[in-house]
């Protein structure tokens, strides 16, 4: 049942590779000071965004956190638009105003990445309310972390979504850490999915490294939501290979933990399945990666040459008239 | 022209906009079936039904966040936060999300969102239910803030807020709910961001809002008998602040007193004073005085509450002193 | 096991009667405009505060909501101090600054009643932290409503208390309504106790009309807390006989609901038990009530005659120096 | 006297007070084992251990509320909120609880509580991680707010805040963490509520804080070569506001410019201007000018961020204009 057809698998594989390669390049750009401030990579977590995106339809919406490049790319944001935004250029998705933490692209339903932990959750409720009032059949997915699960707004959002039977999917990417703290030090339970019962909604634990499992769980939750049965909570068990942000080397994690997770790399898992099902061979895969690397290179070079916003546009977009 | 209370003007404004535009939805704690804690919204639920008018759980952050999400996806929500003292509970959503959403997205979204709340002292509601919130919300570009003082302004400004494509906080003053006045139900909405001359005069300018405007007007009325003619300006909009109207008046009167219910430090009055000290300094014949709440908190006890916010004597005293 | 000895029963009975009679008088004072603003009565819920108070020890602390007169009296606040505060007099517990919604009495461990829904919860965590750091053995109880269970801070407080194993007892007085809304309209589950699992703490449903049951549940939770095993959540099923506040006549409640609850009146339940166990007879009980009515009358008359704070003291207590 | 960074001064101040008074406890997100997101508190956990120094869940409201409860029961907590932009998340606890607790209880409790957070623009952190928070916290009697600008002041004011029996918000500026200066570790704590003359002069008064103070001082330095001598005042305390020091300076210079990183409307600068327009009006030879952030939001793009907050040219331009 979880199995995707070849076309969808290929789509997911491409998305995951694109995220991986783009983010590796973003880290380089950060080190080269072309990306400023801070940046949060989702390398290792690619199956989460790719699997969910594959299960969504046109008109559906997504909100997520600062760790949002993967969601943006999985939903179809162009690499050029993303890279230009990363560098603060006028041709970026948010015209350089947003940056790494605020990847937003209305055209693909990405309502926004948020730099305040948990603040994206109720925004999904609002999008779902619009869908409910307008009877559009759309649903709203909202991604958040294990750490965000402890913020008050997470509770309020789940409760209200359930009471109003809003078509929302709450997607917790449990990567075991909130910044430098292991979940065991901040949360008295291991499975965030166990909190779903507090809101009378289904809580499902999903292998977040398996893009097909993520897809399948999202399809079920989406169906429920579209049928007027209200929200669901999916907990995707996953792991970030890098540090929390910037130059964090993650000294806090247990020795061997990273290697163990890398053995269950989401790209490798899907590629291996496709190999064994005769849907892909290593050579093809290499070509795919090279092609995407080329796209990433192109996007970066293009973005580097793009102009910055003009200082005259400083006050634009503060108010609607502008 | 019909006559109605400030309270009814709220109801009428919401109803009018809901009739006019089916994108307008309305929600908050006990606003629907019960018609609101201040009985400000009776009948709205009955007329527009449970899809567009909803009671919420006690979850101010989620209320504002949901309204924001709805606003950027095509609705035009009106969210109520009941006592303005609860605004801080939802502060992040208001100032880091609602106010900034359009900007952070590089203009991809507009945020046509209205947040209503009821503010002010004088009712014996105690320290956490009596504050004025305007000045807490002024340092956030992207937000508009209005504080209507009459039934007509409430009707005009609330409708303008709902129609506006930017987020607007509309602060109602508890003490004015029973104030009666004429309201032209067919009038065009007021323009946001404009102060009004509530009483013309030439000897001194008083700037005030809401409950303090009433007291300033009463003071002006009283002084008129002695031939003293204060000009009283109803600020109406806190953000943006209408400098032109204030400067025009001070240019004429050369004297300025700001009457503000909230504490002086960090209050909107400082912004009015600073504006004049910059652009109108040479109009002034006297220091700019501010009559504010004492440097204290609103106490429950009537003996204290009635002393802590500016009363008629303090306002009158300030005027006489500045004119002497 | 739940059974109390005669002395404790008598103590609880007196407390409940005192709360009932004092609050009836408070409503009169409100109608007579001697109590201003608003006031929230706990008539019908007396077993909650009386049962918990009986299980606490000296040094333990309590925080609660604006519906706090019952907790204050159960903990031992003097009627005079309470009535003076209700009327805003200088000799009130808070020198007239607090009023009905802020009944606070440090001398009995009542750290404060709060007029912001849910704001009292983390304050109990802080008191518990002090106890933990100082190893005093004290515990902190915090009362809140079914409606407050949906506010973000409730979630944050329960989570953090559990992670730090703080000696806290979370006591939800589920009286079925938050203001004018029935719990079914704001909360997707019937039992708030079910949320305890989200924080790995025990969640216990208790008959909130039975003071002995409340006492017993509190004793268990207190023991756990004092043993360093962390917080518990008690859900006391109860009912307020009056409206939410002021002149609310509670038109929103189902016909017959009030009468049904009144059949399980907490005072009647305990009195009946004491009758049948030969610990009380109707005549004694009448005397008790009359004596307490006398005390209430005395306190009210005394408070009426007390002076208001002087306007010169307006700025007192804003800062520590004052 | 030892030399250290502004960052180290924070660490030293917390450590000094924790050594001195075992009632001092310290907690926040990732402040303990990791030593803080800005690497401001390394070693504190190691020295004082897990009972007194704690990492918390991501729960700003509970952090502040817990600190409040601990403060009224005998501890002296220092709570960190990381980026000052997160203050609004905990706003109710700060302004309706912490600031009012003593008052509402009629003086039964004191609230010896310190809240630290890191503010300011210039680092490319974007709209929600670059704001200055001082002005959001000024309209709440009961709260004290300080914004130290040098290592010595950080050491002196943070220790004073921790020892103070009232709640104090201490705002650190991100751009100053690497600023080096001499710090007398044995000095008595600074007094809260006092501004300081950072550079004496006579031609014009500049009032600023933190990053803007640095820029104001640089401007003064540059102008000195031409014989123009600005007096630069480091405001240090926002609440209370030290009117006397400002008035003393303006009396001497007759000209005032306020340099503020945050937006003009609702900013602390308005309060300084209003104070002088009242008590020092007749000292003035020129309008009171304010150099502020543009009426916009902090953008991520360096091309915009570097333009939006006041830079050296804008400050210098304002000075020259006012002197001409
Ligand atoms: C309200 C708020 N508090 C704190 C922070 C600082 N912060 C940024 S990311 C983060 C950790 C979040 O962890 P998690 O939710 O697990 O997401 P992840 O980073 O693992 O994707 C924290 C504490 C913030 N941005 N907003
Ligand atoms: C943050 C906040 N939101 C809303 C209110 C208004 N309000 C006061 S009491 C109340 C209902 C609370 O219900 P519940 O928690 O069940 O307690 P009960 O009144 O039944 O004891 C509400 C919404 C408030 N005081 N604070
Ligand atoms: Mg995480
Ligand atoms: Mg209730």
pLDDT digits (tens, 9 = 90+) for A180-234: 999 999 999 999 999 999 999 999 999 999 999 999 999 999 999 999 999 999 9
For ligand 1, atom 12, the nearest C-alpha belongs to A178
Pair B155, B210 in one domain: no
Pocket of ligand 2 (CB under 6 A): B 29, 58, 60, 82, 86, 89; C 65, 67, 115-117, 144-148, 175, 177-179, 244
Pair B160, B201 in one domain: no
pTM of the entire predicted model:
0.98
Residue B149 lies in a domain: yes
**Would you call B25 and A133 a contact, using CB atoms and an 8 Å cutoff?**
yes
D169: which residues sit within 8 A by CB, 6+ positions away? D87, D94, D114, D115, D116, D117, D133, D137, D143, D144, D145, D146
CATH of the domain at D52: 3.40.50.970
Q: Is it the case that residue A1 has pLDDT exceeding 70?
A: no
Residue range D24-37, pLDDT digits in tens = 999 999 999 999 99
Q: Is A116 in the pocket of ligand 1 (CB under 6 A)?
A: yes
Q: Which residues of C touch B91 (CB under 8 A)?
A: none
- Residues D61 and C253: their CA atoms lie apart, in Å, by 34
Q: Which residue has the tokens 């409790």?
A: D109
Pair B108, B245 in one domain: no
Q: Which domains does chain C have, with CATH numbers?
A: 6-305 (3.40.50.970)
Domain final residue pick, B182, B212, B247: B182
Q: Which residues of A touch C185 (CB under 8 A)?
A: 163
Q: Which token pair is A205? A: 């634990």
Q: Is it the case that residue A152 has pLDDT exceeding 80?
A: yes
CB B209 within 8 A of CB B40: no
Alpha-helix runs per DSSP H in C166-310: 183-186, 211-226, 257-262, 266-276, 282-305
Residue D137 lies in a domain: yes
Pair B144, B68 in one domain: yes
Considering only CB atoms, D125 lies closest to which of A38, A147, A187, namely: A38
Q: Is it the case that residue C156 has pLDDT exceeding 80?
A: yes
Residue B312 lies in a domain: yes
Q: Which token pair is C62? A: 């309590």
Smallest CA–CA separation between A90 and chain B, in Å?
9
Pair D8, D126 in one domain: yes
Q: Residue A72 is inside which H or E element, if any?
A: helix A69-75
Q: According to the model, what pLDDT value does residue A246 have?
A: 84
Pair D229, D283 in one domain: yes
Q: D7, D52, D102, D129: which one is catalytic?
A: D129
Question: In terms of CA atoms, which chain D residue is nearest residue A148?
Answer: D58
Q: What is the DSSP code (8-state) at residue D98?
A: I
Pair D48, D167 in one domain: yes
Q: Residue D290 is inside which H or E element, if any?
A: strand D289-293
Percent over 90 (pLDDT), chain C: 98
Mean pLDDT of A276-286: 98
Radius of gyration of chain C (CA): 19
- Residues C81 and C91: their CA atoms lie apart, in Å, by 7
Q: According to the model, what pLDDT value does residue B240 have?
A: 98
For ligand 2, atom 22, the nearest C-alpha belongs to C179
Tell how far the Cα of A147 is from the centroid of ligand 3, in angstroms: 5
**DSSP 3-state assignment of B274?**
helix
Domain final residue pick, D182, D217, D240: D182
Average model confidence (pLDDT) for chain C? Answer: 97
Q: Residue B122: count other Cβ atoms within 10 Å of its Cβ.
A: 17
Percent over 90 (pLDDT), chain A: 98
CA neighbor of A187 nearest in space, from D56, B98, D46, B125: D56
C264: which residues sit within 8 A by CB, 6+ positions away? C209
The B-side interface with C (CB below 8 A) comprises 29-30, 33-34, 37, 55-62, 85-86, 89, 123-129, 294-297, 299-304, 307-308
Q: Is it the case that residue A322 has pLDDT exceeding 80?
A: no
Pair D159, D228 in one domain: no
Q: Which residue has the tokens 């003490």?
A: B175
Q: According to the model, what pLDDT value does residue B77 have?
A: 99
Alpha-helix runs per DSSP H in chain D: 6-20, 44-52, 60-71, 91, 101-104, 151-163, 210-224, 243-253, 268-279, 302-308, 312-323
ipTM for this model: 0.98
Residue C249, CB-side half-sphere exposure with 13 Å CA sphere? 2
CB C209 within 8 A of CB C79: no
Domain final residue pick, B147, B182, B217: B182
Residue range B28-37, pLDDT digits in tens = 999 999 999 9
Look at the alpha carbons of D201, D207, D211, D215 in this order and tell me if their dihedral is positive or negative: negative
For ligand 1, atom 3, the nearest C-alpha belongs to A117
Smallest CA–CA separation between C174 and chain A, in Å?
16
Residue range C205-238, pLDDT digits in tens = 999 999 999 999 999 999 999 999 999 999 999 9
Residue range C70-95, pLDDT digits in tens = 999 999 999 999 999 999 999 999 99
Q: According to the model, what pLDDT value does residue B128 have?
A: 98
Q: Which residues of chain D have pLDDT under 70?
A: none
- Residues C80 and D144: their CA atoms lie apart, in Å, by 35
Residue range D195-245, pLDDT digits in tens = 999 999 999 999 999 999 999 999 999 999 999 999 999 999 999 999 999
Confidence of residue C1 (pLDDT cuts 50, 70, 90): low
Pair B17, B160 in one domain: yes
Pair B227, B170 in one domain: no
Residue D187 lies in a domain: no
Residue B100 lies in a domain: yes
Q: According to the model, what pLDDT value does residue C322 have?
A: 63
- Residues A79 and C225: their CA atoms lie apart, in Å, by 54
Pair D223, D272 in one domain: yes
- Residues A142 and A124: their CA atoms lie apart, in Å, by 6
**Would you call D142 and C318 a contact, using CB atoms and an 8 Å cutoff?**
yes
Q: Which token pair is B304? A: 């204290």
Residue B189 lies in a domain: no
HEC string for A202-224: CEEEEECCCHHHHHHHHHHHHHH
State how beta strands C177-178 and C140-145 pair.
unpaired
Q: What is the DSSP code (8-state) at residue B189?
A: P
Pair B135, B62 in one domain: yes
Q: According to the model, what pLDDT value does residue C218 have?
A: 98
- Residues D110 and D101: their CA atoms lie apart, in Å, by 8
CA neighbor of D13 nearest in space, from D119, D137, D114: D114
Mean pLDDT of A30-49: 96
Query: Is the CB of residue A184 less than 8 Å away from at least one CB of chain B?
Result: no
Mean pLDDT of A137-158: 98
- Residues D208 and D225: their CA atoms lie apart, in Å, by 21
Residue D191 lies in a domain: no
- pLDDT digit string (tens) for chain B, length 324 residues: 899 999 999 999 999 999 999 999 999 999 999 999 999 999 999 999 999 999 999 999 999 999 999 999 999 999 999 999 999 999 999 999 999 999 999 999 999 999 999 999 999 999 999 999 999 999 999 999 999 999 999 999 999 999 999 999 999 999 999 999 999 999 999 999 999 999 999 999 999 999 999 999 999 999 999 999 999 999 999 999 999 999 999 999 999 999 999 999 999 999 999 999 999 999 999 999 999 998 899 999 999 999 999 999 999 999 999 998
Average model confidence (pLDDT) for chain D? Answer: 97
Q: Residue A165: count other Cβ atoms within 10 Å of its Cβ.
A: 18
* Nearest 10 degrees: Cα torsion B135, B141, B144, B145: 0
CATH of the domain at B248: 3.40.50.920
- Give the range of the structural domain holding residue B244, as residue numbers without chain letter: 196-323
Q: Is it the case that residue C120 has pLDDT exceeding 60?
A: yes
Tell how far the Cα of A145 is from the centroid of ligand 3, in angstroms: 4
Confidence of residue A2 (pLDDT cuts 50, 70, 90): confident
Tell me phi and psi for residue C254, to 5 degrees. Answer: -65, 140
Residue B65 lies in a domain: yes
Q: Which token pair is B155? A: 């009707």
- Residues C23 and C27: their CA atoms lie apart, in Å, by 6
Task: Tally the domains of chain B.
Answer: 2
């Amino acid at each position: 049942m979880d199995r995707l057809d070849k076309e969808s698998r290929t789509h997911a594989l491409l998305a995951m590779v694109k995220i991986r390669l783009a983010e590796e390049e973003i880290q380089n750009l950060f080190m080269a000071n072309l990306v400023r401030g801070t940046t949060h990579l989702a390398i290792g977590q690619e199956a989460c965004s790719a699997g969910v995106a594959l299960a969504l339809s046109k008109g559906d919406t997504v909100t997520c956190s600062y760790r949002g490049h993967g969601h943006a790319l999985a939903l179809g944001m162009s690499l050029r638009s993303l890279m230009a935004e990363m560098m603060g250029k006028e041709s970026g998705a948010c015209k350089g105003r947003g940056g790494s933490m605020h990847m937003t692209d209305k055209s693909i339903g990405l309502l926004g990445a948020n730099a305040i932990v948990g603040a994206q959750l109720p925004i999904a409720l609002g999008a779902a309310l619009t869908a409910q009032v307008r009877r559009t059949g759309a649903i709203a997915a909202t991604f958040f972390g294990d750490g965000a699960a402890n913020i008050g707004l997470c509770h309020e959002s789940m409760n209200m979504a359930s009471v109003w039977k809003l078509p929302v999917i709450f997607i917790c990417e449990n990567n075991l850490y909130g910044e430098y703290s292991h979940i065991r030090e901040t949360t008295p339970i291991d499975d965030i999915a166990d909190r779903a019962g507090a809101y009378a909604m289904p809580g499902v634990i999903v292998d977040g490294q398996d893009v097909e499992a993520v897809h399948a769980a999202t399809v079920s939750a989406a169906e429920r939501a579209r049928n007027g049965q209200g929200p669901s909570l999916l907990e995707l068990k996953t792991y970030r290979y890098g540090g929390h942000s910037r130059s964090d080397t993650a000294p806090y994690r247990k020795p061997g933990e990273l290697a163990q997770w890398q053995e269950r790399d989401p790209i490798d898992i899907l590629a291996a399945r496709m190999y064994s099902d005769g849907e892909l061979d290593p050579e093809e895969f290499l070509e795919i990666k090279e092609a995407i690397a080329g796209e990433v290179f192109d996007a970066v070079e293009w973005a580097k040459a793009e102009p910055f916003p003009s200082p005259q546009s400083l006050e634009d977009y503060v108010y609607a008239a502008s | 022209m019909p006559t109605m209370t400030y309270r009814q003007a709220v109801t009428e404004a919401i109803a009018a906009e809901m009739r006019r535009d089916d994108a307008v939805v309305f929600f908050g704690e006990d606003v629907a079936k019960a018609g609101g804690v201040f009985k400000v919204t009776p009948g709205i639920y009955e007329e527009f039904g449970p899809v567009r008018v909803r009671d919420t759980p006690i979850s101010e952050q989620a209320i504002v966040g949901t309204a924001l999400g709805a606003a950027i996806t095509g609705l035009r929500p009106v969210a109520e936060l009941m006592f303005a003292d609860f605004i801080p509970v939802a502060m992040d959503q208001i100032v880091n999300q609602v106010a900034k959403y359009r900007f952070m997205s590089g203009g991809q979204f507009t945020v046509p969102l209205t947040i209503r709340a009821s503010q002010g002292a004088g009712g014996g509601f105690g320290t956490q239910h009596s504050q004025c919130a305007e000045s807490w919300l002024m340092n956030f570009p992207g937000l508009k803030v209005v504080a209507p003082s009459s039934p007509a302004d409430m009707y005009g400004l609330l409708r303008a807020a709902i129609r506006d494509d930017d987020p607007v906080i509309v602060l109602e003053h508890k003490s004015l709910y029973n104030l009666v006045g004429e309201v032209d139900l067919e009038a065009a909405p007021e323009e946001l961001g404009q102060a009004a001359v509530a009483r013309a005069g030439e000897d001194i300018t008083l700037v005030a809002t809401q409950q303090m405007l009433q007291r300033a007007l009463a003071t002006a009325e009283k002084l008129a008998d002695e031939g003293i003619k204060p000009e009283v300006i109803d600020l109406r909009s806190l953000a943006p602040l209408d400098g032109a109207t204030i400067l025009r008046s001070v240019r004429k009167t050369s004297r300025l007193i700001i009457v503000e219910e909230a504490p002086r430090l960090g209050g909107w009055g400082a912004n009015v004073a600073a504006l004049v000290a910059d652009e109108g300094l040479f109009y002034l014949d006297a220091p700019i005085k501010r009559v504010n709440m004492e440097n204290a908190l609103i106490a429950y006890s009537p003996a204290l509450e009635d002393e802590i916010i500016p009363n008629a004597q303090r306002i009158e005293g300030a005027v006489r002193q500045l004119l002497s």
